[in-house]
Amino acid sequence: MKKIAVYPGSFDPITYGHLDIIKRGLTIFDEIVVAVARNSQKNALFTTEERVELIQDVLKGEGRVTVDTFSGLLIDYVASRGAHVIIRGLRAISDFEYEFQIAQMNSSIGREIETLFMMTSLQYGYLSSSIVKEVCSLNGDIDNFVPMEIKKALKSKYGLA
């Protein structure tokens, strides 16, 4: 039986920190579904479709990763994909507090789905999509934060291309 995990998030945009979690997750799982959340409560820079395309572009050639979208309860989406694990990346204690509550809620729903918390690699502990967007919007150097495809898309969004 294939070990499938779902790595959900807004990925607005995907960063080297996200990609690090995916790469490390592939050492544990046979397949990872990167699930881009359709969240109307967040004011995203990129549309859901743009985020999916960017992630697919960055991960082209990695046949064990699928990019998809979801709305509604994550736990229902995970079950629909035949997965049994949700991967969540953690940077700090503040991330853990929130993620722990969500994991406990998912567990209380009674599904046979586990949450795996992965600590970010040290070099990405400070990195977030919000910080990347802010630095880029001010025409700062983001080469160490995102792949070139993402940098180009960000600069285009901010009229800096």
Catalytic annotation on 81? no
Answer yes or no: 18 catalytic. yes
Is-catalytic flag, 42?
yes
| 91 included as an active-site residue | yes
First to last CA, the chain: 46
Alpha helix ranges (H) inside 59-92: 74-80
Rg (CA), the chain: 16
- Catalytic: which of 88, 129, 133, 151? 129
Point out the catalytic residue in the list 23, 24, 64, 91: 91
Catalytic residue among 3, 42, 71, 156: 42
The residues annotated with a catalytic role in the active site are 18, 42, 91, 129
